[in-house]
Amino acid sequence: MKQPGEFELIERLCRDLPYGRRTLLGPGDDCAVLAPTRRPQLFTIDSMVEGVHFELAWLSPEQLGERALAVNLSDIAAMGGSPRSCVVNLGIRKGLGAAFFDRLYRGLGRAARAAGVDVVGGNITRSAQLTLTVALLGEVAGQVLRRDTARSGDEIFVTGTLGDSALGWRIMAGEIEARGAARKYLVDRFVAPQARLGAGRKLARMRPAPAAIDISDGLLADLGHIMERSRVGAEVDLAAIPYSRHYLAVAGDRADLALSGGEDYELLFCLRPGHSAPVLSRRLGVAVHRVGRIVERRHGLRLRRGDGRLVPASGMLGWDQLGVDP
Ligand SMILES: [Mg+2]
């Protein structure tokens, strides 16, 4: 049962949200009404829970709103699509007032406007922790990038650099120390991830459509999802993992955050052999690095160490065994 105060709050929060021509009826009724579309629709959902995914001390309310949308945009990017409409569920706890949610929705509205997304409705519920859930619709103009189309022999590429966000998270948690420009860069990579929507759409124009996934759980875990769905194995070349200079300055030779830290929101994709990373970087408008290749399923996931030896990823206990200087 909703309290009257919550009705008022949601009405107020939705007042300035963007919605345009493809929304026939926006917030305020039992459902939103969207204009029909002829294109295949993408539909995704993601939650951010206080104490699990973030602490309030780490982000401003505006940044929280922006980030809640960004993590969903990344899933649309990973399919090669364009985001269109979203609904939001807010789990609110005691101690947070209307001013907080005004700011949160200001950030959400700003991010939605920037991405061309209509916020068409929402719900508010009482909750033990602050929770933000966004369900996002998108559409694809051409092919869909899937996880189940990788083939043995494909080369594996990633956009951007890895591990920055996981390192930023640990800096904010006080586990790792960093100052100045490095601290700001790494913390920003956690706070304000940029979904690779443009790169995803350009990948969707390639023939055959690359297998792709966004890196939210970490390179190895998300590559594992491709392996499972495509029934293939993979080799990752540890010396080829792309690090930012700030990551190297702060984390030194720690490879673990880049391999399994998560929250990178970069794209991982698999192409038939013969593509050059510099050419792909220009084409996709973002730095691209080749990090390994798809092999037959029976090989599982193996890591190529700095000395050229292949070791099974599952058998590794400590990162000091990798023999790699990032
Ligand atoms: Mg994803």
CA of 5 to the centre of ligand 1 (A): 35
For residues 86 and 59, give the distance between their C-alpha atoms in angstroms, rounded to a whole number: 22
221-238 pLDDT, tens digit each? 999 999 999 999 999 999
Residue-averaged pLDDT of the chain: 92
β-bridge partners, 4: none
CA of 289 to the centre of ligand 1 (A): 19
Q: Which two tokens stand for residue 130?
A: 């602050």
CA of 216 to the centre of ligand 1 (A): 6
CA of 73 to the centre of ligand 1 (A): 9
Q: Which two tokens stand for residue 156?
A: 């594996």
Q: How confident is the model at residue 320 (pLDDT cuts 50, 70, 90)?
A: very low
pLDDT of residue 135: 98
CA of 76 to the centre of ligand 1 (A): 8
> What percent of the chain is modeled with pLDDT above 70?
94
**pLDDT above 50 for 321:** no
25: three-class secondary structure by DSSP: strand
Torsion of CA 227, 229, 232, 236, to 10 degrees: -20
Q: How far is CA 144 from the centre of its chain?
A: 17
CA of 185 to the centre of ligand 1 (A): 23
Torsion of CA 267, 272, 277, 280, to 10 degrees: -70
Strands 301-304, 233-237: pairing kind? parallel
pLDDT of residue 306: 87
CA of 46 to the centre of ligand 1 (A): 9
Cα atoms in the 13 Å half-sphere on the side-chain side of 282: 4
Break the chain into its structural domains and give their ranges.
4-139, 155-321
Judge whether 4-139 and 155-321 match in fold: no
What's this model's pTM, rounded to 2 decimal places? 0.93
Give residue 87's region: left, alpha or beta (phi > 0; psi -120 to 50). Answer: beta
Find all residues with CB under 8 Å of 93, minimum gap 6, and list them. 50, 126, 127, 128, 129, 130
CA of 141 to the centre of ligand 1 (A): 19
Q: Output 175 or 5, whichever has higher pLDDT.
A: 175
CA of 78 to the centre of ligand 1 (A): 7
pLDDT of residue 322: 46
> What percent of the chain is modeled with pLDDT above 90?
85
Q: Output 19 or 298, whichever has higher pLDDT.
A: 298
CA of 6 to the centre of ligand 1 (A): 31
CA of 45 to the centre of ligand 1 (A): 10
263: three-class secondary structure by DSSP: coil
CA of 224 to the centre of ligand 1 (A): 13
Q: How confident is the model at residue 27 (pLDDT cuts 50, 70, 90)?
A: confident
For residues 210 and 213, give the distance between their C-alpha atoms in angstroms, rounded to a whole number: 10
Q: How confident is the model at residue 315 (pLDDT cuts 50, 70, 90)?
A: low
Mean pLDDT of 43-65: 95
**pLDDT above 60 for 30:** yes
Q: Residue 312: in which H helix or E strand, if any?
A: strand 310-312
For residues 3 and 24, give the distance between their C-alpha atoms in angstroms, rounded to a whole number: 28
Mean pLDDT of 152-163: 98
CATH classification code of 155-321: 3.90.650.10
CA of 47 to the centre of ligand 1 (A): 12
Q: Looking up tokens 């204009």, which residue turns up?
A: 35
For residues 67 and 73, give the distance between their C-alpha atoms in angstroms, rounded to a whole number: 10
For residues 283 and 289, give the distance between their C-alpha atoms in angstroms, rounded to a whole number: 13
**pLDDT above 70 for 188:** yes
Q: Which two tokens stand for residue 74?
A: 């990344």
Q: Does domain 4-139 have CATH number 3.30.1330.10?
A: yes
158-172 pLDDT, tens digit each? 999 999 999 999 999
List, as ranges, residues with CB under 5 A of the ion ligand 1: 75, 214, 216
**Cα-based distances in Å from 234 to 121, 221, 270, 275:** 42, 12, 11, 18
Helix then strand count (H, E) for the chain reads 10, 13
- Peptide bond between residue 208 and the one before it cis (omega within 30 degrees of 0): yes
Q: How confident is the model at residue 129 (pLDDT cuts 50, 70, 90)?
A: very high
Q: Is the separation of the CB atoms in 261 and 163 below 8 Å?
A: yes
- SS3 string, 202-241, reads HHCCCCCCCEEEEECCCHHHHHHHHHHHHCCEEEEEHHHC
CA of 18 to the centre of ligand 1 (A): 25
